[in-house]
A and B are shown apart, each in its own frame.
Chain A
Amino acid sequence: AQSVTQLGSHVSVSEGALVLLRCNYSSSVPPYLFWYVQYPNQGLQLLLKYTSAATLVKGINGFEAEFKKSETSFHLTKPSAHMSDAAEYFCAVSDRSSNTGKLIFGQGTTLQVKP
């Protein structure tokens, strides 16, 4: 069965600092992995996805993530945090074993950006 674990429920960075949000996955088949962002009172917005092409994936708003099979990780990074990046971030894995397309989400990481 597929699962994801997000390390750190809360991350705080200063504006302009590196953002690193950690995600580890467990999957019995090659995974499809996603990062979503949720702003207050809004739905989840897709940041980026990995579907077995390039291991370094670039997304919207300057975010990127690297798929590392040896470490079963898919960490999200951004070189320089902006105040507008404050939100909750979710890592998700597609349940490919069932071929339904449903996503299994991690518990989420709240990113705080300090001025």
Chain B
Amino acid sequence: DSGVTQTPKHLITATGQRVTLRCSPRSGDLSVYWYQQSLDQGLQFLIQYYNGEERAKGNILERFSAQQFPDLHSELNLSSLELGDSALYFCASSDQGTSPLHFGNGTRLTVT
């Protein structure tokens, strides 16, 4: 158990809809990272938050946004969903820049 909790485990929705993925980091970790895993793109970094502030941005679409709340949990919002957004979305956390990332079990999003 990595200590990182992601909900829900599975999400099935239709094109054009909006969903919210939730992540609770390990106790004490200030950084939260979001990754998207798909067969064709592999593991792609989306965005990072550190103690409530956006720290780094990767290949995140404009339709996607995230935030980190004062209690350090994070949410990834995906809107105007397309079939190609179907993927496994991982959240990871760490306590500082040189520490390894600890991953949650992911949310599998299926867009129909």
Chain A contacts to B: CB under 8 angstroms: 32, 34, 36, 41-46, 49, 51, 90, 94-95, 98-108
Query: Measuring CB to CB, which residues of chain B are less than 8 angstroms from any residue of chain A?
Result: 2, 4, 31, 33, 42-43, 45, 48, 50, 55-56, 58, 90, 92, 94, 96-106
What residues of B have a CB within 8 angstroms of the CB of A43 in the complex? 2, 4, 90, 103-106
Q: List B contacts of A108 (CB < 8 A).
A: 42-43
Chain A residues within 8 Å of B45, by CB:
102-104
**A46's closest neighbor in chain B, by CB?**
B100
Q: How far is the CA of A98 from the CA of B92 in the complex (A)?
A: 18
Contacting pair A101 B42 (CB below 8 A):
no
Q: A34, A44, A101, A106: which contacts B96 (Cβ < 8 A)?
A: A101
Q: Which of A41, A42, A98, A103 contacts B101 (CB 8 A)?
A: A103
Q: Which residue from chain B places its CB closest to the CB of A43 in the assembled complex?
A: B103
The CA-CA distance from A94 to B105 in the complex, in Å, is: 21
Q: Which residues of A contact B92 (CB under 8 A)?
A: 44
CB < 8 Å: which of B99, B105, B106 contacts A101? B99
In the complex, residue of chain B having the shortest beta-carbon distance to the beta carbon of A51: B98
Contact B98 A32 (CB under 8 A): yes
Q: Which 4 A-B pairs have the closest CB atoms?
A: A43-B103, A101-B97, A105-B43, A100-B56
Given contacts A100-B48, A104-B45, A105-B42, contact A94 B104 (CB under 8 A): no
Would you give the shortest CB distance from B23 to chain A, in whole angstroms?
A: 11
Per the bound structure, the CA–CA distance linking A105 and B55 in Å amounts to: 19
- Chain B residue nearest in CB terms to A41: B105
Q: How far is the CA of A105 from the CA of B37 in the complex (A)?
A: 11
CA distance A108 to B102 in the complex (A): 18
